[in-house]
């Protein structure tokens, strides 16, 4: 049996079709549930109470298509333009000369007028999909409205309810596949609100407030708040310490390095994340009374002692074990891992001195710059290669993936290429051997990858060779296997629930949506995976012991680790109160 639906443009009297979006309501499908009406950000929809179907006013419609995405009966169709307006562009500063320069490459908004213009593009959606796309669930419409009102103190108050690192996240987040990819404009095929730039504008213009520590309140036995230990001082540890100290807990943080911050300190170069921004959270936490014990490495065998010493624990250790390509010659003296290189490069650039391993090489009676082969072309590899260029050496990146599927931010890729990095996708290293004058010869093979869900494979053909003075394995990191063994079942696999909560679907952020701005990645599904991981951070691994960040899910983003650390601390406090 075939049913023909009645298509009727149910519109308000007097509305006209000029160069406007056009809303068509399929009245045979409309059930009068009002899902679209309550979520329309411009009040372009209302109810015809005589027929109990939706009325549409084209003149009020901006074409965001929220009604299409939220209607459970597919009763609405929107055609015509998306009236999103022009998005403010990111200003890029490429220093000339590049050698030794650590100034930020991506600049913030340069005027209140630019911030106001961008803030006014926000639709202030009643059920904002951008909030669901943000791993921390920042109230994005709320802080943007404060910017539009010129009230940056209010903007900070809104942000501080969910984030401790707004100045960090606004610089390092891949917003395209998080908040901005989930913006209504992006889901409609237009350019989203520049949420990252607006968040950075708040923190660039008004300092980020420190933790609000309550007045000391002793319990009936004269004791202070609970005594909590945190292992790790990266983003997850920062968030957990912040949440706990604001709740009146006594917090001790154990960090194996001689300085706190983890990846924020040594893993992200100053030209992306300035040292003053990276160090700000720990300066404030230390001032708030958090006890920081650097140079203290915690092994799995120490956990029982720590559990006995503290009322509760948050395990927030990072993924610091670098991955290495399993090829012959990987153990040659001139082959470094990304961690060692980034730590050395960060120190050299910060001190304004050269890196000995990249000293100019004698050549034909003169000298030539050293050449570094970077294995990998993800974000870690870009950090290595761009630091290499600032240290006066040439950099060649090779990666076996197809560039269409490589997990690298397009802006980072473009910036690296602008700075002279030679990037070769669909290329892998099959062997490393010693060459003359202490150099390393890499045998390179071509690869092919047909689909994002399939690994590349080596194709037939003659190999090529490339000589380098230094080889850096920059394929990312993994959790120390010994620590992972102490928390069975971790790191968790990246999986999303098969049947998302109806409230999630009703927001319009469906799992299968792949906006072009988000590099055609399924922003809804990615957000659901993060949500499942956030729920896992709320579950105690043992009584009074919670896990967050890389240790829970493997290598993760700064904002995801921060959100998990905050969630773990919140539930630990509730756990202790319940006892």
Q: What is the pLDDT of residues 316-357, one digit of tens each?
A: 999 988 888 999 999 999 999 999 999 999 999 999 999 999
Does residue 41 surpass a pLDDT of 50?
Answer: yes
Q: In terms of C-beta density within 10 A (0-12 exposed, 13-18 middle, 19 or more buried), how is residue 351 classed?
A: exposed
Alpha carbons within 13 A on the beta-carbon side of 287: 10
Q: CA-to-CA distance for 304 and 300, rounded, in angstroms? A: 8
Q: How confident is the model over 454-477, as a mean pLDDT?
A: 94
User: 200 falls in which pLDDT band (50, 70, 90)?
Assistant: very high
Does residue 9 surpass a pLDDT of 80?
Answer: no
Whose tokens are 């109160």? That residue is 577
Residues 6 or more apart whose CB falls under 8 angstroms from that of 151 comprise none
pTM of the model: 0.93
Whose tokens are 């103190």? That residue is 153
E-strand stretches of 160-311: 227-231, 250-255, 291-294
In angstroms, what CA-CA distances link 275 with 285, 314, 347, 381, 418?
Answer: 16, 26, 11, 20, 24
Beta bridge partners of 336: 472
pLDDT at 18: 55
pLDDT at 17: 52
Q: What torsion, rounded to 10 degrees, do the Cα atoms 453, 379, 260, 94 define?
A: -160
Q: CA-to-CA distance for 115 and 131, rounded, in angstroms? A: 20
pLDDT at 222: 46
Q: How confident is the model over 103-117, as a mean pLDDT?
A: 95
Alpha carbons within 13 A on the beta-carbon side of 32: 7
Does residue 315 surpass a pLDDT of 70?
Answer: yes
- 364 against 443, higher pLDDT: 443
pLDDT (tens digit per residue) in 13-22: 454 555 889 9
User: 7 falls in which pLDDT band (50, 70, 90)?
Assistant: very low
pLDDT at 289: 96
pLDDT at 438: 86
Beta bridge partners of 312: 228
End-to-end, the C-alpha distance of the chain in Å comes to 61
Q: How confident is the model over 32-45, as a mean pLDDT?
A: 95
Q: Write out the two tokens for 286.
A: 């230390």
| 3-state secondary structure at position 46 | strand
pLDDT at 346: 94
Q: How confident is the model over 156-161, as a mean pLDDT?
A: 97
Does residue 2 surpass a pLDDT of 50?
Answer: no
Angle of the 558-578 helix axis to the 523-537 helix axis, nearest 10 = 30
Q: What letter would DSSP give residue 7?
A: P
Closest by alpha carbon to 425, among 450, 406, 451, 452?
A: 406
| 3-state secondary structure at position 567 | helix
Q: CA-to-CA distance for 76 and 36, rounded, in angstroms? A: 9
On average, the pLDDT of the chain sits at 92
Q: CA-to-CA distance for 240 and 381, rounded, in angstroms? A: 29
Q: CA-to-CA distance for 573 and 576, rounded, in angstroms? A: 5
In angstroms, what CA-CA distances link 493 with 425, 480, 490, 553, 556?
Answer: 27, 16, 8, 7, 12
Q: How confident is the model over 485-510, as a mean pLDDT?
A: 82
Beta bridge partners of 468: 440
Q: What letter would DSSP give residue 312?
A: E
Lowest mean pLDDT among 3-12, 47-56, 168-177: 3-12
Q: CA-to-CA distance for 543 and 168, rounded, in angstroms? A: 32
Q: CA-to-CA distance for 411 and 392, rounded, in angstroms? A: 22
Which residue intervals of 391-470 are DSSP H helices?
410-418
Does residue 362 surpass a pLDDT of 80?
Answer: no
Q: CA-to-CA distance for 211 and 288, rounded, in angstroms? A: 7
pLDDT at 216: 64
Q: Write out the two tokens for 61.
A: 């419609």
Angle of the 379-390 helix axis to the 338-351 helix axis, nearest 10 = 40
Angle of the 195-205 helix axis to the 152-160 helix axis, nearest 10 = 110
Q: CA-to-CA distance for 374 and 380, rounded, in angstroms? A: 10
In angstroms, what CA-CA distances link 219 with 222, 224, 249, 358, 445?
Answer: 5, 6, 12, 59, 67
Whose tokens are 């890729």? That residue is 413
Does residue 565 surpass a pLDDT of 50?
Answer: yes
Q: How confident is the model over 61-90, as a mean pLDDT?
A: 95
Closest by alpha carbon to 175, among 515, 551, 529?
A: 515
Q: What letter would DSSP give residue 29?
A: T
Whose tokens are 């951008």? That residue is 130
pLDDT (tens digit per residue) in 218-271: 444 445 789 999 999 999 999 999 999 999 999 999 999 999 999 999 899 999
pLDDT (tens digit per residue) in 367-388: 889 999 999 999 999 999 999 9
pLDDT at 223: 53
| 3-state secondary structure at position 59 | coil
Q: CA-to-CA distance for 204 and 563, rounded, in angstroms? A: 22
The pairs formed by 452-461 with CB atoms below 8 angstroms and a separation of 24 or more are 452/404, 452/405, 456/400, 456/401, 456/402, 456/426, 456/428, 458/428, 458/430
Q: How confident is the model over 484-489, as a mean pLDDT?
A: 86
% of the chain exceeding 70 in pLDDT:
95
Closest by alpha carbon to 128, among 118, 140, 120?
A: 140
DSSP state string for 221-249: TS--S-EEEEE--SHHHHHHHHHHHHTT-
Assess contact for 209 and 156: CB atoms under 8 A.
yes
Assess contact for 314 and 240: CB atoms under 8 A.
yes
């Amino acid at each position: 049996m075939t049913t023909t639906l009645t298509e009727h443009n149910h519109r308000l009297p007097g509305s006209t079709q000029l160069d406007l979006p056009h809303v068509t309501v399929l009245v045979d499908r409309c059930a009068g549930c009002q899902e679209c009406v309550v979520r329309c950000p411009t009040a372009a929809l209302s109810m015809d109470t005589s027929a109990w179907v939706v009325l549409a006013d084209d003149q009020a419609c901006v074409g965001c298509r929220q009604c299409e995405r939220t209607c459970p009966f597919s009763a609405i169709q929107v055609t015509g333009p998306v009236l999103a307006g022009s998005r403010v562009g990111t200003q890029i500063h490429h220093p000339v000369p590049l050698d030794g320069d650590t100034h930020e490459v991506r600049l913030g908004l340069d005027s209140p007028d630019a911030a106001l213009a961008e803030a006014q593009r926000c639709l202030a959606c009643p059920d904002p999909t951008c909030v669901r796309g943000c791993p921390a669930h920042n109230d994005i419409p709320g802080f943007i409205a404060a910017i539009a009102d010129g009230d940056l103190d209010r903007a900070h108050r809104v942000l501080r309810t969910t984030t401790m690192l707004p100045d960090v996240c606004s610089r390092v987040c891949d917003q395209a596949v998080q908040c901005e990819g989930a913006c209504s404009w992006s889901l409609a095929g237009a350019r989203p609100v520049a949420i990252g730039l607006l968040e950075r504008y708040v923190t660039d213009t008004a300092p980020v407030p420190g933790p609000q520590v309550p007045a000391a309140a002793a319990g009936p036995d004269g004791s202070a708040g609970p005594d909590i230990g945190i292992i790790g001082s990266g983003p997850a540890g920062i968030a957990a310490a912040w949440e706990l100290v604001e709740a009146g807990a006594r917090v001790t943080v154990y960090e194996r390095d001689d300085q706190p911050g983890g990846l924020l300190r040594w893993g992200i170069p100053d030209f992306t994340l300035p040292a003053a921004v990276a160090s700000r959270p720990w300066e404030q936490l230390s001032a708030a009374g958090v006890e920081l014990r650097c140079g203290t490495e915690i092994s799995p065998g120490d956990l029982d002692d720590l559990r006995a010493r503290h009322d509760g624990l948050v395990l927030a250790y990072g993924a610091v074990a670098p991955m290495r390509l399993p090829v012959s010659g990987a153990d040659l003296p001139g082959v470094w891992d990304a961690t060692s290189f980034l730590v050395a490069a960060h120190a050299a650039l910060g001190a304004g001195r050269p890196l000995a391993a990249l000293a100019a090489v004698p050549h034909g009676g003169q000298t030539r710059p050293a050449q570094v082969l970077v294995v990998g072309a993800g974000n870690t590899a870009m950090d290595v290669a761009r630091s290499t260029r600032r240290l006066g050496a040439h950099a060649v990146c090779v990666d076996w993936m197809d560039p269409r599927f490589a997990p690298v931010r397009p802006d980072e890729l473009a910036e690296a290429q602008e700075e002279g990095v030679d990037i070769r996708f669909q290329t892998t290293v099959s062997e490393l051997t010693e060459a003359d004058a202490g150099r390393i010869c890499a045998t390179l093979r071509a690869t092919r990858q047909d689909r994002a869900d399939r690994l590349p494979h080596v194709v037939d053909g003659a190999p090529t060779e490339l000589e380098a003075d230094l080889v850096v394995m920059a394929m990312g990191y993994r959790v120390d296997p010994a620590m992972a063994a102490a928390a069975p079942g971790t790191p968790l696999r990246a999986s999303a629930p098969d049947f998302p909560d109806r409230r999630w679907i009703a927001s319009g952020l469906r799992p299968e949506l792949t906006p072009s701005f988000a590099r055609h990645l399924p922003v809804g599904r990615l957000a659901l995976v993060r949500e499942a991981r956030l729920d896992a951070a709320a579950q105690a691994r043992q009584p009074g012991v919670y896990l967050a960040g890389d240790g829970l899910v493997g290598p993760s983003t700064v904002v995801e680790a921060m959100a998990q650390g905050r969630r773990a601390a919140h539930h630990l406090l509730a756990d202790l109160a319940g006892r």
